[in-house]
């Protein structure tokens, strides 16, 4: 008790001298309960996005940041950890968030454990984890297509790289591994049809693998070669319009792939209408360079200093493309050099551009008007995933 | 000193009500209470809001309670309740001045400070509960050292990680919860 | 293509000599080789050498070999061997352009680039071995993307963490080791 | 083999066009061996220091950086990890470095394991670890006196805080826990005599506890109260001159304590000679604010804006004090605002000042002349420990 009294004395000593109560506030502020921990809605509003903070200077301490880009303040709503070169994929229908990650028993050394951690959207607490065998989870600067869902979000598929490629399929209900599918020469996961996935291959083709009800690989369909990897490769992350993925190439050609069927169907391609003023030319640039709104308009982050090797340099404008009319609808001049773009799936979409300094700039996607900056959201805001339903 | 005795008794009761039995026992039985954590001031100044690299001339958008009796911006270090806070402000991390961000655990062992509310001119007892179990939030670093004393007096030291008695001792951010009015005036 | 075949055979032998049996099998049996890691360029630019907060207008002190045939500063991104490097430069982390920092493990699986030495005008095969098992070094971030291709072609992709076949996959920094001359001139 | 050939082809394609060999270099540069990993000398030169990078924005990813402050370049010689709020203490006589740290099985959650990790000075690899029971390792912004050696470096002593205080004694040969000593009301560890330690207590005294040959606590000696914690407390980290610790207080009073005997002997105190020009006054300021060179001169980091609450604000000058003559020998104007100082134990000492931006400024301690900046050594260079023998 003596110590408590002493602490109280200390507290009393630090009080300011004036103790007069202002007449306008007859009652003091109410006492507040402890402990008190915030909760989120189980289903997030469509103005929220997941920002993957890759954390360049502390790769083991990456995290996903949940951000409301439409609010005037209180924009950062929560964070969940994502270890070294991990992946984050939300499932709105299951009210869960999945994180593919790797732990060591002594943080950077010792025994390796790969897992998919299951997070509850409402409490942001881990509900469980699925241990992935073999220590083969692929580690690279995060791409959203490294961890994807299929089978009505009943299964997760995670990409392995050893440097041999494979995909591990896990059941999210039983939290058990269902199967592992070898994927020689192909990379990443683009869900197809009801149950299965496609993958982009080093020979320029796309391979589609259907999964049976037990998760075992069934028919494999390989497309014609369409990805000119040598001279004009596609960025790996498409903008999804329904089940159609819109990929953009280093040189600004747009390519649609229909993932609605059991096998991916490679559709047509058209160039972003050329614009003058580039030095030497306008090209897509950044990390996640293309996004789509609910109406199907595409937003491409463009770099005026386009050339060989410029593809990760970010951009200064977002170009709005109507892929049906094949027209450039609008050029949005960004306030700041940006590295990734994502459109919200609101009826009136917002366009979010992430900056190298960790802040997000938010634009009215319809008018291109700057709306706000959400400052210092992340150390390295490398990918963004808008809430989708 | 009888005023102070009464005050400390009241505070002890308040703390007893507000915290778990385990932490109460800790309070009574050993070295007491404690402040939030911290990036040390000069360091945190340099890093404040500058996530990972020179960032942000841009400010965090202000968050006010809307209550004229509780004035100020809870994302700023000069908010009245933060008079003895140390660490990342939970208001910037998904919590609020009195609530931990989702998924963290509020530390039951806290440093108690006393801050003047400039609106009603009352002195409030503020409990600086740390939020625990998640990596350093990284937003809105704030450190105020008036009254801070070295580790030799833990209950007055804000360098300690007060994530004690929580499932994980990893420090995320700090709150500033109103426990009550320090002294009642007639 | 016979020149190229000869070249590739030579390279394979070199790689075979230079790496463990296990990695050789990997080279032959599956998707091959690979580059260093990276903070993506625009990001790493913003963070380059700016440890934790806006730091360092101050440069890292230059490190040269002293050999006129190997010119340039090994702490700078424009050093000739770094033509396809990606990540933190081991020269700034306790290693050198061809040596991992103490306590790390050099990855046996590497991305092979070809860089022109401006002093002797030869094209050298450079092996970008990552150093593994320790957290991101944090000094001298460097990313050059000429010739980089997306993940669909792993052996030309520098976004991959090539700490494969090491006791720990945690990435620390990247080296640029001379494996030999790319093509011999008569 | 096909893939190998393809990779080679790619490499060939990226070669620059010009293939002419300069006549001045008839032989190409030699092939370099892989794998190649640097080693350090088992015994470090006395121009090297250990910098504890607290890593404010990623507390779990702190590290110790080994820096040669006398070299013109290649200053950073190595790094070893130090987890969340850890401690680092080198033993030159054992060629080992000890790190007190805490791990979780899932990095930030799961099962807790406290350890002292034993690092080899030459290879910077972990030689082993000593698991500390009870999950009670004290976590606070690092202070070098949280982990200390005694018994001719045969034992390590680590400070626990739960918030009850205790010290765990471990045997470094057998890598086993020897004993735990309760320390009610006292903090940190200052080794005494041949085998034992003293601790600063909340009532202003110092308590000394001798350890017997089995590491069990023996005689306890408590000093008179001398530490005026309310109005002029001592900073917790002393500058060591032999076995004499020089502590400085918030208001600039220096106090010697002799730790050579079984019980700490509190010696005299004198003020740093007052200097004008402060607003309101010059006071010590920063994190590790005092250091000593081999000749016994003291270096105190001073803040011209001294006042209540300024004690962690860093400083702009280092004042050189002769504690025998009780004089201010020199004022060294620092190039940059600095947060901690440490003198090397060289015959001609260097004074190192760490900056909030992570760089170190190095001064000739004898003349005060600026020598060099070692840039970007750490994210948060909070403490420094020079090599001592």
d(CA A250, CA D53): 40
What's the residue count for chain C? 186
Cis peptide before A280 (omega within 30 of 0): yes
With b for 16 or more beta-carbon neighbours within 10 A and e for fewer, the B119-152 pattern comes to bbbbbbbbbbbbbbbbbbbbbbbbbbbebbbbbb
Rounded CA separation D250/D230 (Å):
11
Low-confidence ranges of chain D (pLDDT < 50): 1-20
How high is the pLDDT of residue B86?
Answer: 85
Whether C100 sits inside 8 A of D36 (CB atoms) is yes
Q: C113 with C129, same domain? A: yes
Mean residue pLDDT of chain A comes to 94
Chain B CB contacts of A4 under 8 Å are 8, 11-12, 15, 27-28, 32
By C-alpha distance, which of B152, C94, B180 is closest to D226?
B152
Specify the pLDDT at position D23: 65
CB proximity D123 to A under 8 Å: no
For residue B78, give the 3-state DSSP assignment: coil
CB-based contact, A107 to chain B, within 8 Å: no
**Nearest residue to C147 (alpha-carbon basis) of D164, D311, A233:** A233
Instruction: Write out pLDDT tens, residues B17-67.
Output: 333 322 222 222 222 222 222 233 333 333 333 333 334 468 999 999 999
Per CB-CB distance under 8 Å, the chain A contacts of C138 are 57-58
- C24 and C54 housed in the same domain: no
pLDDT in tens, A304-339: 999 999 999 999 999 999 999 999 999 999 999 999
Among B46, B47, B52, the residue with its CB nearest the CB of C47 is: B52
Residue C54 has pLDDT above 80, yes or no: no
Tokens 């399929």 belong to A169
One of B70, B130, B148, B159 is an active-site residue; which one? B130
Angle (nearest 5°) at CA D145 between D141 and D148: 130
Q: In sequence order, which residues have a C-beta less than 8 Å from that of residue A149 and are 6 or more positions away? A: A89, A91, A98, A155, A156, A157, A172, A191
Cβ neighbours of residue A42 closer than 8 Å, sequence gap 6 or more:
A95, A121, A122
How far is C74 from A356, CA to CA, in rounded Å? 25
Tell me: do C93 and C15 sit in the same domain: no
The C-alpha atoms of residue B89 and residue B173 are separated, in whole angstroms, by 6
Residues C93 and C169 in one domain: yes
Q: Is the pLDDT of residue B144 over 70?
A: yes
Rounded Cα distance between B79 and B74, Å, is 6
Of B100, B114, B116, the CB nearest to A37: B100
Among A112-121, C32-41, D179-188, the least confident range: C32-41
C87/C19 same-domain check: no
Report whether pLDDT(C120) > 80.
Answer: yes
Does C34 sit within 8 Å of A108, measured CB to CB?
Answer: no
Q: What is the DSSP string of C81-97?
A: GGGG-EEEBGGGTTSBT
Return the residue of C nearest to D355 by Cα. C55
pLDDT of residue B57: 66
Beta bridge pairs of residue C113: C126
Q: Does residue B92 share a domain with residue B29?
A: no
Of residues A148 and C9, more confidence is placed in: A148
- Rounded to whole angstroms, the Cα distance separating C100 from C97 reads 8
Q: How far is D61 from chain A (nearest CA, A)?
A: 7
CB-based contact B174:B118 (threshold 8 Å) = no
Smallest CA-to-CA distance from D381 within B141, B139, B46, C136 is with: B46
B contact chains, 3+ CB pairs < 8 A: A, C, D
Q: Which residues of C touch A308 (CB under 8 A)?
A: 146-147
Q: Scanning every residue of chain C, which has its alpha carbon at the shortest distance from the alpha carbon of A378?
A: C43
Confidence (pLDDT) at C144? 86
**Averaged pLDDT, B81-109:** 95
Which of D86, D107, D108 has the most B C-beta neighbours within 10 Å, making it the best mutation to test the interface with B? Answer: D108
Cβ within 8 Å, pair B43-D54? yes
- State pTM to two decimals: 0.89
Residues B78 and B116 in one domain: yes
What pLDDT band is residue A282 in, cutting at 50, 70 and 90? Answer: very high
Cα gap D333→D379, rounded to integer Å: 24
User: Does residue A21 surpass a pLDDT of 70?
Assistant: no
Give the residue from chain A lying closest to D84, CA to CA: A107
Nearest to C90 by CA among C103, C70, C74, C110: C74
How many helices (H) does chain D have, and how many strands (E)?
Answer: 1, 29
Concerning whether C148 is annotated as a catalytic residue, the answer is no
Interatomic CA distance for residues A169 and A166, integer angstroms: 10
Q: What percent of chain D lies above the pLDDT cut of 90?
A: 93
d(CA D279, CA D307): 8
Contact B52 A21 (CB under 8 A): no
- Candidates C150, C162, C167, C171, partner chain A, best to mutate (most A CBs within 10 A): C150
Q: Which of D11, D32, D80 sits opposite C112 (nearest CB)?
A: D11
Mean pLDDT of A18-45: 86
Confidence of residue A22 (pLDDT cuts 50, 70, 90): low
Which two structure tokens, joined as six digits, stand for B122? Answer: 């009352």
d(CA A334, CA A369): 9
Q: What's the CA gap between A192 and A244, in Å, rounded?
A: 10
Residue A221: Cβ within 10 Å count = 18
Tokens 């595409």 -> residue: A298
Whether residue C64 contacts residue C72, with contact meaning beta carbons closer than 8 Å, is answered with yes
Same domain, B120 and B176: yes
D385's CB contacts (< 8 A; 6+ apart) are: D49, D50, D52, D88, D89, D90, D144, D342
pLDDT reading at A143 higher than 90:
yes
The answer, for D103 touching chain A at a CB cutoff of 8 Å, is yes
Residues B126 and B69 in one domain: yes
Residues 14-73 of D with CB under 8 A from C: 14-16, 18-22, 24-25, 28-40, 55-57, 61, 63, 66, 72-73
d(CA C85, CA C94): 18
The residue among B137, B150, B167 with the most chain D CBs within 10 A of its CB, best to mutate, is B150
The Cα A272–Cα A250 span in angstroms is: 11
Q: Are residues B18 and B80 both part of a single domain?
A: no
- Residue A389: pLDDT band (50, 70, 90) is confident
Q: Which one of A55, A83, A105 has the shortest CB-CB distance to D105?
A: A105
Give the pLDDT confidence of A231-267 residue by residue, as tens digits.
999 999 999 999 999 999 999 999 999 999 999 999 9
Taking CB atoms and an 8 Å limit, are A57 and D58 in contact across chains? Answer: yes
| Residue of C86, C130, C148, C159 with catalytic role | C130
CA–CA separation, D286 and D352 (whole Å): 13
Kind of pairing, strands D265-271 and D244-248?
unpaired
**Domain span including residue B24:** 3-40
Nearest residue on chain C to A310, judged by CA atoms?
Answer: C145
Q: How confident is the model over A2-20, as a mean pLDDT?
A: 36
Pair (B104, B154) in one structural domain: yes
Residue D19, SS3 per DSSP: coil
Catalytic residue selected from B111, B148, B159, B162: B111
Which has more pLDDT, C45 or D186?
D186
CATH at C162: 2.60.30.10
Q: Same domain for B167 and B149?
A: yes
- Rounded to the nearest angstrom, the gap between the alpha carbon of residue A268 and the centroid of all alpha carbons in its chain is 26
State CA B163 to chain mean position distance: 12
What is the rounded distance in angstroms from the CA atom of residue A285 to the CA atom of residue A305? 9
Catalytic residue list contains B130: yes
Q: Confirm or reject contact between D5 and chain C (CB < 8 A).
A: yes
D 280-339 → C contacts, CB under 8 A: none
Return the structure tokens found at B77: 């270090």
Element (H, E) at D248: strand D244-248
**pLDDT tens, position by position, C142-185:** 988 888 899 999 988 889 999 999 999 999 999 999 999 986 54
Which of A141, A37, A200 is closest to B101 using CA atoms?
A37
| Closest-CA distance of chain B to residue C55, Å | 7
Say how many domains are in chain B: 2
Per-state percent for chain D, helix, strand, coil, to nearest 5: 5, 50, 45
Question: Between D163, D200, D314, which is nearest B42 by CB?
Answer: D314
Q: What is the pLDDT of residue C57?
A: 66
Q: Which residue of A has its CA nearest to C51?
A: A57
Cβ neighbours around D265 below 10 Å, total: 18
Are D55 and A60 in contact (CB < 8 Å)? no
Distance from CA of D382 to the nearest CA of A (A): 18
The pLDDT, as a whole number, for residue B51 is 36
């Amino acid at each position: 008790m003596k110590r408590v009294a002493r602490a109280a004395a200390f507290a009393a000593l630090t009080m300011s001298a004036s103790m007069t109560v202002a007449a306008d506030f007859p009652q003091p502020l109410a006492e507040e309960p402890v402990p008190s921990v915030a909760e989120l809605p189980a289903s997030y509003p469509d103005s929220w996005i997941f920002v993957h903070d890759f954390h360049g200077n502390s790769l083991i301490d990456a995290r996903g940041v949940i951000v409301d880009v439409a609010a005037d303040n209180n924009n950062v709503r929560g964070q969940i950890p994502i270890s070294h070169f991990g992946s984050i994929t939300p499932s709105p229908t299951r009210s869960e968030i999945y994180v593919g990650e790797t732990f060591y028993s002594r943080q950077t050394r010792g025994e390796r454990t790969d897992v998919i951690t299951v997070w509850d959207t409402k409490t942001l607490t881990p509900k469980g984890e699925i241990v992935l065998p073999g220590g083969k989870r692929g580690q690279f600067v995060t791409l959203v297509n490294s961890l994807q869902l299929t089978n009505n979000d009943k299964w997760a598929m995670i990409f392995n790289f050893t440097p041999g490629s494979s995909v591990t399929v896990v059941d999210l209900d039983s939290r058990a591994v269902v199967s592992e599918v070898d994927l020689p020469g192909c990379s990443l996961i683009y869900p197809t049809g009801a149950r299965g996935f496609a993958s982009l291959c080093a020979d320029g083709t796309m391979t589609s693998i259907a999964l049976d009800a037990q998760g075992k690989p069934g028919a494999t369909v390989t497309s014609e070669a369409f990805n000119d990897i040598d001279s004009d490769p596609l960025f790996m992350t498409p903008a999804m319009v329904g089940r159609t993925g819109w990929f953009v190439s280093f040189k600004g050609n747009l390519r649609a792939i229909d993932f609605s069927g059991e096998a991916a169907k490679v559709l047509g391609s058209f160039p972003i209408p050329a614009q003058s003023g580039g030095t030497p030319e306008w090209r897509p640039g950044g990390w996640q360079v293309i996004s789509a709104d609910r109406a199907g308009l595409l937003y491409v982050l463009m770099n005026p200093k386009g050339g060989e090797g410029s593809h990760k340099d970010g951009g200064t404008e977002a170009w709005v493309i109507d892929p049906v009319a094949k027209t450039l609808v609008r050029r949005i001049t960004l306030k700041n050099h940006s590295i990734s773009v994502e459109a919200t799936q609101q009826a009136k979409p917002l366009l979010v551009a992430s900056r190298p300094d960790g802040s997000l700039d938010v634009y009215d996607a319809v008018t291109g008007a700057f709306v706000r900056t959400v400052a210092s959201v992340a150390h390295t805001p490398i990918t963004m995933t808008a809430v989708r339903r | 000193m009888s005023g102070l005795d009464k005050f400390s008794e009241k505070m002890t009761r308040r703390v007893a009500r507000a915290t778990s039995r385990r932490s109460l026992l800790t309070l009574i039985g050993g070295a007491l209470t404690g402040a939030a954590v911290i990036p040390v001031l000069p360091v945190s100044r340099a890093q404040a809001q500058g996530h990972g690299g020179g960032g942000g001339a841009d400010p965090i958008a202000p968050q006010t309670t809307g209550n004229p009796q509780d004035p100020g911006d809870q994302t700023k270090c000069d908010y009245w309740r933060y008079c003895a806070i140390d660490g990342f402000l939970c208001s910037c991390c998904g919590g609020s001045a009195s609530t931990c961000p989702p998924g963290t655990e509020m530390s039951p062992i806290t440093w108690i400070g006393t801050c003047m509310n400039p609106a009603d001119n009352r002195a409030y007892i503020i409990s600086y509960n740390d939020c625990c179990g998640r990596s350093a939030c990284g937003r809105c670093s704030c450190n105020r050292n008036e009254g801070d004393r070295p580790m030799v007096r833990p209950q007055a030291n804000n360098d300690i990680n007060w994530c004690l008695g929580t499932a994980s001792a990893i420090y995320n951010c700090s709150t500033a919860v109103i426990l009550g009015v320090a002294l009642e005036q007639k």
